[in-house]
Structure 1
């Protein structure tokens, strides 16, 4: 089923492209950059995001083949359209040395197993915890926001070698993390001809 794009969204992307040249990005990278910029009205994301087209191609295929999606918080899950996301934050408990967000990641991994797409837009501790686990993700969208641990957790994600979308600065958040996943959801699947 094709997605119907509202005229306001069409005009918003037209204006975005008039102010930001994204033509040098590969197709999925361009889709992610544009959707993140659109969701935040922050053109600087074009230079702040760290993406790898080959990783996005594999994640796009996994997503459209039915791989589960995990969100760190309900705001991220609510922002993901056309796909239900697992979010275990309501079931999580904090303990000494363990935040609720970190515990929620453990609970979600028990539920979904390897091969999921992880979308972390709020809690750096959720991203830090994911990096300690053998999650075998199809992709980690690591865009937590904040002045404590956000940039550091995203740097650790990039250093981990896991397939990822991240950014260099402290900015991020639920809206941009969900937007990055939505870009992959909205991007058409190209059917190969025999």
Structure 2
């Protein structure tokens, strides 16, 4: 019978995730793990059920949940019947995380103000670093000196246009493992939203660029979810490629995510348009998460066979789930993990691929990236 049990070291090795025996003992103390069985030598013994319990704890901890919240989540009789006190605590933790993100965003903005200076601003950049070294913020009044510093430095921007590519070279993470076309696409997305951190959330399937170039070269149909998306596409270049543009929910009054999501549930006519989409089309979903979910469902049931899906809807529960489903669908895709996205970013991604095909028709750099 002893062979059926694991020691504490074997338990942590089976779970992984940098879990140590000391952490396991701490979880026992907190009540996150039930008391372990003991051997004749008083060593803790564990079963496969304990592995699953510890894996749940690790997964929730990696998602950012506090240990006290994890304990309540695991001891609840039902994941649906959560106590009001737990929900209030989770909301409080969320607000705390948002405040931390805001502070980090301020820090990032200050660094961008220095690192993002192009060659024409190098003298200003050096002056900024020199003055920041001398700056002593001892009171709220002295904070005005910091604002005055940036105001003085910003005066240099009137003399020349901003060199975006040069600034991005200083700010983007190491993208040496990406193809030239993918780097350009990521750069365009960053410039569209002004957030360099977006690069960490963009997900392209390995075959996305090749699928897009092949489909566009053959004059495929381009289908967007609402007019706000299709209106932003580069119609001139698409016409040159022989690609026609269609809109699923073709209502000019729908301009945002709320109207798009409501239209999905109120008017099923667009589903008929979805079923009639030709094979090897490129679908661009920039607003309604339910539309992307319906697209994934149609793909899984072999009702449609798009060449590429650019799925970047906005939302706080449905959108992340729809994007995860798109990634799992196994088709060429470009998406942004989590809640971020929008029609502009979706159209920017499509336009970047269109431009790269016309400007670099013989480029095969994306085929050499492992």
- TM-score for both structures, normalised by structure 1: 0.82
Are the aligned partners of 1:117 and 1:138 in contact in 2 as well (CA < 8 Å)? Answer: yes
Are the aligned partners of 2:207 and 2:332 in contact in 1 as well (CA < 8 Å)? Answer: no
- Counterpart of 2:246 in structure 1 is 86
1:107 lines up with 2:269 in the alignment: no
1:143 is aligned, of 312, 329, 333, to 312
In structure 2, the CA distance between the partners of 1:106 and 1:155, relative to structure 1 (3 Å rule), is farther
Give the drift of 1:12.
2.4
Give the drift of 1:172.
0.2
3-state secondary structure, aligned to 1:99:
helix
1:154 is aligned, of 303, 316, 323, to 323
Distance of 1:54 and 1:14 partners within structure 2? 29
Deviations 1:126-151 (A, max 9, x none): 10111121211110001111113011
- Counterpart of 1:127 in structure 2 is 292
2:197 is aligned, of 36, 44, 57, to 44
In structure 2, the CA distance between the partners of 1:90 and 1:55, relative to structure 1 (3 Å rule), is closer
Deviations 1:80-120 (A, max 9, x none): 113252103136xx9xxx5258752541441x311100011
Are the aligned partners of 1:80 and 1:181 in contact in 2 as well (CA < 8 Å)? Answer: yes
In structure 2, the CA distance between the partners of 1:191 and 1:161, relative to structure 1 (3 Å rule), is closer
Greater relative contact order structure (CA < 8 Å, 6+ sep): 1
- Counterpart of 1:190 in structure 2 is 362
Give the drift of 1:28.
2.8
1:13 lines up with 2:165 in the alignment: yes
Are the aligned partners of 1:70 and 1:117 in contact in 2 as well (CA < 8 Å)? Answer: yes
Distance of 2:267 and 2:287 partners within structure 1? 9
Distance of 2:304 and 2:355 partners within structure 1? 25
1:60 lines up with 2:200 in the alignment: no
Aligned length: 182
- Counterpart of 2:282 in structure 1 is 117
In structure 2, the CA distance between the partners of 1:139 and 1:105, relative to structure 1 (3 Å rule), is farther
**Structure 2, unaligned stretches of length 5 or more?**
1-159, 239-243, 252-259, 365-370
Structure holding more helix per residue: 2
Distance of 1:101 and 1:35 partners within structure 2? 34
**Structure 1, unaligned stretches of length 5 or more?**
1-6
Rg (Cα) greater in structure? 2
In structure 2, the CA distance between the partners of 1:100 and 1:183, relative to structure 1 (3 Å rule), is farther
Q: Cα RMSD over matched residues?
A: 2.8
In structure 2, the CA distance between the partners of 1:101 and 1:179, relative to structure 1 (3 Å rule), is farther
Distance of 1:108 and 1:166 partners within structure 2? 20
- Counterpart of 2:350 in structure 1 is 181
- Counterpart of 1:170 in structure 2 is 339
